[in-house]
Amino acid sequence: MTPLHVSAWYALAASLLQVVLVVLGGPLLLGLMAKLRARAEGRVGAPIRQPLRDIRKLLGKERLRPKHSSAVLALAPYVVLGATTVAVIISPLVTTHPLLRDSADLFVVVYLLLTGSVAMALAGLDTGTAFGGMGSSRAMTVGALAEPALLVSVIALSIQAKTSNLPGIVASTLAHPALASTPTRFLALVALGIVVIAETGRLPVDNPSTHLELTMIHEAMTLEYAGSDLGLVTLGAAMRLGLLVALLVNLFFPWGIASTASIPLLGVAALVLALKASFFAVALSLIEVHSAKLRLFRVPELLAAGFVFSVLAVITGLATR
């Protein structure tokens, strides 16, 4: 990694920009995907900024708590927001020099996201209703089966870059562009793509626009949230999507990220990131348009395929070391 000296102010500004980008960008990605899907189906669809409006409206509403719920239900959205925001702060989204760059380990990000999932799953079980428990059980099952694919592809990337430090991986790709077109990268990209679909509850794993409780995964888990709390939960989920998409595109195609400490470059990097993330969202919504939701017990097969891809990524990485 380049021993570049950057001021703490630059790092702070960059990290704040990243948080703003993800807070706004996550919902916008959702809106973009909904729009593309609507167009593909021959509808006009809601404007792209609709999810942002929804969240704003929800946040302004009254706070409602279901009976028999404990502090866990009230605290879970904060945990999700807090853990996701910390992950956003330390990830190299617009710059390779964010705050706490040394702690920006891939495993930290993975486990911060896991912390959010655990908090939501506990919240689903908190009120003691059948749907909440069902959602938690399904979400944790999918999460547990996605975890190996996620960690092993992370390990594949780390072996290649000789570090599990995120800015380090991004910087090594920038320094050795040939790395980006190795078989390891492609295999890991497929594996991580599957993981992102599973972790953010998109088709074919979960249908975010379903209205039937028995088919829900993430929505069932958050069924007990209403009003302003629901706004927080929705924002948390959107940020998670934004972070995962942004990280994925930067891990595999980092060009455009600011690798020197200059404020104008940050603006350029933010624009490029938005463009890259939109491309990914287009790809994701194409998959969604052309696929139906899998039966719950077929999902493990998809995730197992992801796991196999990630193991192959490690093996090719070791073979071409």
Partner 1 sequence: MVLFGVGLGSIGLGVFATLLLGGRLRSVAVATLGSLGCVLTFLSALDVLRSGRATSFSTSQILPLMGVRFNLDPLGAFFVAMVSFLGVAVLVYDVGYAHQVGRGRVAPCLLLIFIASLIAVPSASSVATFMFLWECMALSSMLLIVVEQRHRLEARSAAQWYGVITQLGAASILFGLLLLAMKGGQTFGDIRSHASTLSPGLRSVAFLATLIGFSSKAGAVPFHVWLPRAHPEAASPVSALMSGVMVAMGVYGVLRVGGDLLAGGALWWWLVVLALGALSAFYGALHATTSTDLKRLLAYSTIDMLGLVLVGVGSAGALRATGQAGMAQLALTGALMLLLAHAAFKGGLFLGAGAIERATGTRDLDQLGGLIDRLPITATFFGLSALSIMAVPALSGFSSEWLLLQGMLHGFVDTNTATLIGLLTGVTVLALTGGLTAVAFVKVLGVGLLGQARSPGAASAHEVPRSMRWAMGLVALPSLAFGVVPGLIVPLVHRAVLVAQPSTGTGLRSGAGLALARLHGAIEPLALLGGFLGVVVLVWTIRAWHHQRAPRSVDAWRGGGEEPSARMQYTATSFGEPLQRVFADVLRPEIDVEVTHEVESRYYEQAISYESRVNDVFERHGYLPVLKYLTLYGRRVRRLQNGSVHRYLAFGFIALLVALVVLA
Q: Which of 25, 98, 143, 306 binds partner 1 (CB under 8 A)?
A: 143
Q: How far is the CB of 48 from partner 1 (least distance, A)?
A: 25
Tokens of 66: 């279901």
| Beta carbon of residue 274, minimum distance to partner 1 (angstroms, whole number) | 23
Query: Would you state the structure tokens that stand for residue 284, as one six-digit string?
Result: 């994701």
CA distance 75 to 77: 6
Cβ nearer to partner 1, comparing 32 with 108 = 108
* Cα 174 from Cα 26, distance rounded (Å): 25
**Residue 277 C-beta: closest distance to partner 1, Å:** 22
User: How many residues of this chain interact with partner 1, rule: CB under 8 A?
Assistant: 87
Instruction: Please list every residue from 199 through 238 that binds partner 1, using CB under 8 A.
Output: 213, 223-224, 226, 228-229, 232
Give least dist CB 241 to partner 1, A: 18
Restricting to residues 46-65, which ones interact with partner 1 according to CB under 8 A?
Answer: 59-60, 62-65
Touching partner 1, residues 87-116 (CB under 8 A): 89-90, 99-100, 102-103, 105, 107-108, 111-112, 114-115
End-to-end CA distance of the chain: 19
202 burial via Cβ count (<10 Å: 0-12, 13-18, 19+): buried
At closest approach, how far in Å is the CB of 65 from partner 1? 4
CA 237 centroid distance within chain: 8
Q: CA triplet 118, 122, 224: central angle to 5 degrees?
A: 125
CB of 158 to partner 1, least distance (A): 6
Q: How many residues does the chain have?
A: 321
* Stretch of 34-42, 125-133, 175-183, 198-206 contacting partner 1, by CB under 8 A: 125-133
Residue (163 or 182) nearer to partner 1, CB: 163
Q: Who's near 58: CB < 8 A, 6+ residues apart?
A: 227, 228, 230, 231, 234
Q: In the window 291-310, what residues touch partner 1 (CB under 8 A)?
A: 296-297, 300
Instruction: Please give the residues from 165 up to 204 whose contact with partner 1 meets the rule CB under 8 A.
Output: 165, 168
- Which of 125, 203, 237, 248 is the binder for partner 1 (CB under 8 A)? 125
**The tokens of 150 are what?**
């996620």
Q: How many CB atoms lie within 10 A of CB 101?
A: 20
Any residues with CB less than 8 A from the CB of 233 and at least 6 apart, and which? 76, 77, 80, 120, 222, 225
Q: Of 24, 38, 48, 151, which one interacts with partner 1 (CB under 8 A)? A: 151
Task: Give residue 272's Cα distance to chain centre.
Answer: 18
From the CB of 68, what's the least distance to partner 1, in Å? 6
Judged by CB under 8 A, does residue 150 bind partner 1?
A: yes
Question: How near is the Cβ of 283 to partner 1 at its closest, in Å?
Answer: 26
Which of the stretches 31-39, 47-55, 153-161, 263-271 binds partner 1 when contact is defined by CB under 8 A? 153-161
Q: Which CB atom, from 140 or from 284, has the smaller least distance to partner 1?
A: 140
Q: Which amino acid is at 94?
A: V
18 binding partner 1? (CB under 8 A): no
Dmax (CA) of the chain: 58
What's the sign of the alpha-carbon dihedral 72, 73, 74, 78? positive
* Residue 70 contacts partner 1 per CB under 8 A: yes
